[in-house]
């Protein structure tokens, strides 16, 4: 029997590791609330994770099985569980981030010591981080070259979900766990991720492995995991919801993606990022569907229909590009990818950073984006670029402040993409925005939200104000602002002045002053 360990692949279909385990059948599947991972999590992300797990659990239940849930250190839980269930092997899909790889190495060692086999699969991306390299054999740091190779490579077909008969039925799971003394509430009793000081439950004279308790399908409340319920309206989670979104997107919006994707008020993008983050939909399945849309594009009335489908595929390639950047450079999570001659002399004013986080900078498009983030755990891509530019080049604040806030608030936070996005905006990343190209937040708002519909959706103080005035807000006289929208803040900085300071800051870092 195989034990399948779900991590960032909360789905049963198009799941390579699970499909491979099913070929050997039968399978029991487990998710572990990893104490180390939870230490870096946030209310929003844990909420989103639990929603995804509920959908996954229900998918197993629909098949007559269930999802096992444990809380603690996977390196102690998995060997104990494999032993308790009499599993020969633990199977999982690879996670390419540095922390996950360290954790997996520990788990691998613990399983080896326990005499349990391991089997890890490449599943999360179409092309593994090692598979696309320059002709000299180096990883790519320029996206356009990477994309050309990515686009031309063969892609595997989606893999089917396991047959129901290959999944252990729910009664047997409970019986086997009970017999092994592992069945119990998902409480990790002392919550320290190890069993030190825990009771000798199995009476073998030591407490090793004794804190391992596994629940069958019973999801822990947020508080038990150490988190509070966030005040945020998240989209429905799970494979079913993701497929519905994908179908809706690929039957209409994808054909005008090129024209619509930069306009935050239009429903011009797929909104699949959280589903990708938690692996609720498989990359092969998504790609196969986009290929079908590409065929359909030839009969569509939209003038750029085929180019639009390809542009969407190019975003899937950005995801894989940043995955390989992180894989080859795990240090980018905290360090600049690009080294300047001198350290960048960030200004880091705490009050300005806080105003940015609250969406109270007096720059309407920036504030709308930051408030969308707080309300929905999501922000449109164009607006992410605008707010990230504003933090780094208008507030002259270190991108790490922005990254940390996004990490806490985004339901789709993905280390590779979030870091890639921030380092792009800060001109410190691979293939980043050149330091001298600084977004003007007023022009950006005017261009991408001309009628200020997106802005007024999230900034109610500006409802009823003429769009022209909204786009000029920071340049209006104080009295004009006070008359038009007395509740909305004055600009906290002067863009033209900050632009000059930003240029000087980067030139100093480049050793040019």
Binding-site residues for FAD, please?
Answer: 257, 269-273, 312, 315-322, 412-414
User: In the structure, how many helices (H) and strands (E) does the chain have?
Assistant: 22, 6
Neighbours of 307 (CB within 10 A): 15
- Distances 270 to 60, 246, 247, 252, 318 between C-alpha atoms, Å: 26, 7, 9, 11, 15
Q: Which is nearer to ligand FAD, 35 or 273 (CB)?
A: 273
- Per-residue interface string for the shown chain with ligand FAD, residues 101-140, x marking contact by CB under 6 A: ----------------------------------------
Candidate residues 264, 279, 330, 421; the one interacting with ligand FAD per rule CB under 6 A: 421
Per CB under 6 A, 276 contacts ligand FAD: yes
Q: How far is the CB of 430 from ligand FAD (least distance, A)?
A: 11
Residues between 246 and 265 that touch ligand FAD (CB under 6 A): 261
Please count the residues of this chain forming the interface with ligand FAD, following the rule CB under 6 A: 28
d(CA 158, CA 135): 29
Selected range binding ligand FAD among 99-107, 234-242, 406-414, 433-441, rule: CB under 6 A: 406-414
Contacts of 244 (CB under 8 A, 6+ apart): none
Per CB under 6 A, 315 contacts ligand FAD: yes
Selected range binding ligand FAD among 174-182, 218-226, 315-323, 486-494, rule: CB under 6 A: 315-323
HEC secondary structure over 406-461: HHHHCCCCCHHHHHHHHHHHCCCCCCCCCCCCCCCHHHHHHHHCCCCHHHHHHCHH
Q: Which is nearer to ligand FAD, 385 or 462 (CB)?
A: 385
Per CB under 6 A, 410 contacts ligand FAD: yes
Both tokens assigned to 54: 């509920």
On whether the CB atoms of residues 409 and 266 are closer than 8 A, the answer is no
Residues between 347 and 386 that touch ligand FAD (CB under 6 A): 381, 384-385
Neighbours of 297 (CB within 10 A): 18
Candidate residues 67, 425, 485, 505; the one interacting with ligand FAD per rule CB under 6 A: 425
On whether the CB atoms of residues 48 and 92 are closer than 8 A, the answer is no
Tell me the residue nearest to ligand FAD as measured from the CB.
421
Listed residue (177, 165, 175) closest to 22, CA to CA: 165
Per CB under 6 A, 428 contacts ligand FAD: no
Both tokens assigned to 32: 């572990």
Candidate residues 93, 235, 417, 427; the one interacting with ligand FAD per rule CB under 6 A: 417
Instruction: Name the packing angle between helices 350-358 and 364-376 (round to 10°).
Output: 70
Q: How far is the CB of 276 from ligand FAD (least distance, A)?
A: 4
SS3 state of residue 169: coil
Selected range binding ligand FAD among 221-229, 273-281, 291-299, 499-507, rule: CB under 6 A: 273-281
Candidate residues 418, 431, 471, 505; the one interacting with ligand FAD per rule CB under 6 A: 418
Question: Is the bond leading into 388 cis (omega within 30 degrees of zero)?
Answer: no
Contacts of 298 (CB under 8 A, 6+ apart): 305, 306
Candidate residues 7, 271, 409, 498; the one interacting with ligand FAD per rule CB under 6 A: 271
Q: Which is nearer to ligand FAD, 210 or 320 (CB)?
A: 320
Binding site for ligand FAD (CB under 6 A): 261, 269-273, 276-277, 315-316, 318-319, 322, 381, 384-385, 388, 406, 410, 412-414, 417-418, 420-422, 425
């Amino acid at each position: 029997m195989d034990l399948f360990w779900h991590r960032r692949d909360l789905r049963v279909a198009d799941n390579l590791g699970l499909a491979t385990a099913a070929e050997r059948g039968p399978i029991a599947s487990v998710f572990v609330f990893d104490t180390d991972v939870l230490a870096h999590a946030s209310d929003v992300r844990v909420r989103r994770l639990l929603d995804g797990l509920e959908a996954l659990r229900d998918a197993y239940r629909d098949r007559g099985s269930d999802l096992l849930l444990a809380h603690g250190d996977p390196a102690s839980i998995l060997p104990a569980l494999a032993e308790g269930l009499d599993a020969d092997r633990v199977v999982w899909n690879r996670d390419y981030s540095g922390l996950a790889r360290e954790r997996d190495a520990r788990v691998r060692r613990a399983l080896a010591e326990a005499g349990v086999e391991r089997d890890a699969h490449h599943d999360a991306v179409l092309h593994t981080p090692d598979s696309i390299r320059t002709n000299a054999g180096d990883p790519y740091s320029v996206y356009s070259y990477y994309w050309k190779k990515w686009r031309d490579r063969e892609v595997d077909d989606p893999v089917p979900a396991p047959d129901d008969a290959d999944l252990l039925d729910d009664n047997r799971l409970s019986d086997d766990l009970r017999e092994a003394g592992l069945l119990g509430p998902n409480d990790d009793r002392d919550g320290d991720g190890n069993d030190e000081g825990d009771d000798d439950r199995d009476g073998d004279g030591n407490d090793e492995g004794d804190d391992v308790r596994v629940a069958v399908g019973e999801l822990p409340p947020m508080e038990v995991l150490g988190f509070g319920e966030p005040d945020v309206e998240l989209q429905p989670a799970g494979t079913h919801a993701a497929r519905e979104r994908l179908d809706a997107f690929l039957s209409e919006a994808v054909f005008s993606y090129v024209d619509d994707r930069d306009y935050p008020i239009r429903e011009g993008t797929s909104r699949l990022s959280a589903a990708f983050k938690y692996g609720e939909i498989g990359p092969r399945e998504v790609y196969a569907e986009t290929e079908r849309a590409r065929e359909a594009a030839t009969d569509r009335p939209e003038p750029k229909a085929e180019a639009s489908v390809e542009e969407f595929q190019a975003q899937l390639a950005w995801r894989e590009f940043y995955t390989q950047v992180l894989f080859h450079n795990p240090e980018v999570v905290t360090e600049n990818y690009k080294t300047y001659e001198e350290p960048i002399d960030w200004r880091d004013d705490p009050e300005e950073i806080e105003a940015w986080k609250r969406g109270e900078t007096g720059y309407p498009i920036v504030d709308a984006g930051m408030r969308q983030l707080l309300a929905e755990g999501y922000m449109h891509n164009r607006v992410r670029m605008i707010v990230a530019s504003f933090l780094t080049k208008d507030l002259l604040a270190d991108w790490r402040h922005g990254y940390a806030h996004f990490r806490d608030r985004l339901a789709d936070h993905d280390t590779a993409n979030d870091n890639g996005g921030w380092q792009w905006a800060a001109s410190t990343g691979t293939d980043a925005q050149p330091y001298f190209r600084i977004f003007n937040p007023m022009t950006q708002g005017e261009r991408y939200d001309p009628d200020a519909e997106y802005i007024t959706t999230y900034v109610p103080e500006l409802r009823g104000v003429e769009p022209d005035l909204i786009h000029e807000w920071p340049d209006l006289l104080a009295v004009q602002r006070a008359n038009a929208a007395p509740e909305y803040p004055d600009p906290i900085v002067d863009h033209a002045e900050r632009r000059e300071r930003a240029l000087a800051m980067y030139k100093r870092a480049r050793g040019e002053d």
